[in-house]
């Protein structure tokens, strides 16, 4: 069975209980596959990027038909850190819910509004309104040049600067190291592995350190960062408690010796 995430953020746990490790967050509108129904409260799911864990049923719409239609028709994503979905196209309106960057909605293009507002449909069928500039079409088949794609990935990662560190997080409310890197790629149409390592079957491949360019990934023991160029990298740091920029250059004031001297691999989407 397939399902759609219907809460702003749905926690994905290592075990089917709310006190186990938070391993990922599912954002509104994301489709998932139900691998196993455990009871009236819990299901084991798999994400589109092949990550598995346990989620509460209350956060999901379990319906194969609606999920199939949603995957075809919900082709827009929230780009703003937070966006209120309003009941009417005016700022004084009450809200239906708040969504975070990366949430998926259906854009009802057939309805004409003034240039400021877009009308959208939620997975549960309600119609709402948000600022049109906060919405963009999902990138399904990237046709950008390599350099433009790299720059977009970098700018997406930088949009999370100062976001608090959250183990298992991947939203502007809180994000971890692999959450930051995977969202930077996901929002640019590429699904990479969710954890801080390179594995078979995903598009990031290992390259030599001296071949590294902006947008590539730096791997450390239990940690991953995104390279910005000029020896700088952005990462969600447990030590720094937020998304921050550091340097590989020991002469730079943002140098971190503990990371610069423990690089285990460099990964790139471009390996030709």
State the catalytic residues. 177, 223, 235
247: tokens are 């340097």
Give kind and range of the element (H or E) at residue 206: strand 205-207
Q: Which residues pair with 182 in a beta bridge?
A: none
Q: How far apart, in whole angstroms, are the C-alpha atoms of residue 215 and residue 151? A: 7
Dihedral sign, Cα of residue 45, residue 50, residue 53, residue 59: negative
- Edge-to-edge strand order for the sheet containing 95-100? 95-100, 82-86, 127-131, 117-121, 104-107, 76-78, 135-137
* Cβ atoms 21, 154 nearer than 8 A: no
H or E stretch covering 147: helix 146-158
Which tokens sit at 79? 């780009």
C-alpha torsion sign, points 96, 181, 185, 63: negative
Coil vs helix vs strand at 184: helix
Closest CA to 46 of 26, 61, 73: 26
Strand order through the sheet with 60-62: 22-27, 9-13, 52-56, 42-47, 31-37, 2-5, 60-62
Q: Which of 91, 181, 179 is nearest to 134 (CA)?
A: 91
């Amino acid at each position: 069975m397939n399902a759609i995430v219907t809460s702003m953020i749905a926690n994905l746990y290592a075990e089917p209980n709310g006190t186990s490790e938070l391993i990922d967050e599912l954002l509104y509108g994301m489709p998932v596959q139900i691998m196993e129904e455990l009871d009236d409260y819990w299901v084991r799911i798999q994400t589109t990027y092949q990550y598995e864990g346990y989620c509460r049923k209350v956060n999901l719409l379990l319906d194969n038909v609606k999920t199939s239609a949603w995957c075809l028709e919900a082709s827009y994503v929230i780009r703003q850190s937070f966006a209120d979905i309003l009941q009417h196209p005016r700022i004084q309106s009450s809200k239906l819910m708040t969504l975070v960057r990366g949430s998926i909605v259906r854009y009802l293009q057939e309805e004409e509004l003034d240039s400021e507002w877009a009308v959208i449909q939620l997975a549960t069928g309600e119609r709402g309104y948000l600022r049109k500039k906060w919405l963009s079409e999902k990138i399904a088949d990237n046709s950008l040049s390599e350099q433009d794609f790299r720059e977009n990935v970098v700018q997406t990662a930088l949009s999370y600067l100062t976001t608090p560190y959250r183990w298992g997080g991947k939203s502007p409310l809180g994000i971890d190291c692999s959450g930051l890197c995977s969202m930077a790629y996901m929002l640019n149409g590429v699904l990479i592995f969710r954890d801080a390592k390179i594995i078979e079957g995903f598009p990031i491949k290992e390259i030599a350190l001296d071949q590294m360019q902006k947008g590539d990934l730096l791997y450390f023991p239990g940690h991953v960062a995104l390279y910005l160029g000029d020896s700088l990298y952005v990462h969600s740091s447990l030590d720094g408690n937020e998304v921050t920029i550091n340097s590989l250059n020991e002469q730079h004031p943002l140098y971190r010796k503990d990371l610069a001297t423990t690089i285990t691999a460099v990964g790139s989407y471009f390996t030709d």
